[in-house]
Amino acid sequence: MVRNKTIQEVRLQPGAKSSCIVGLRDGILHVRVTAPPHRGQANQALLALMTQALGVSKSDLAIIRGHTSRNKVLAIQGLSSEELKEKLAQSVAE
């Protein structure tokens, strides 16, 4: 069985007061994490937040571009773009 793979651009704000998914603006997902941008801590916090919000395993998520930048590109296995948008809308509403 072939699994869906969806690509999503992310704008990450490390060192925030709280970790949350802010929302989608112009197709870019805005996310805040409390972890500092030091030694990949913010990237790990982003992946942890996204696995919880999307209900996928950590192995289904990967940062494919932007490891040292606030602008990142995530690859999400097992979700179509429509499913991704639905789950993100639920996460923002919470």
Q: What is the CATH number of the domain that holds 70?
A: 3.30.1200.10
Q: Is the pLDDT assigned to residue 90 strictly greater than 70?
A: yes
Mean model confidence pLDDT for the chain? 93
Domain that holds residue 42: 5-93
Parallel, antiparallel or unpaired: strands 71-77 and 61-65: antiparallel
What's this model's pTM, rounded to 2 decimal places?
0.92
The DSSP symbol for 35 reads S
Q: How far apart are CA 20 and CA 31, in angstroms?
A: 6
Q: What is the pLDDT of residues 25-51, one digit of tens each?
A: 999 999 999 999 999 999 999 999 999
Count of domains observed in the chain? 1
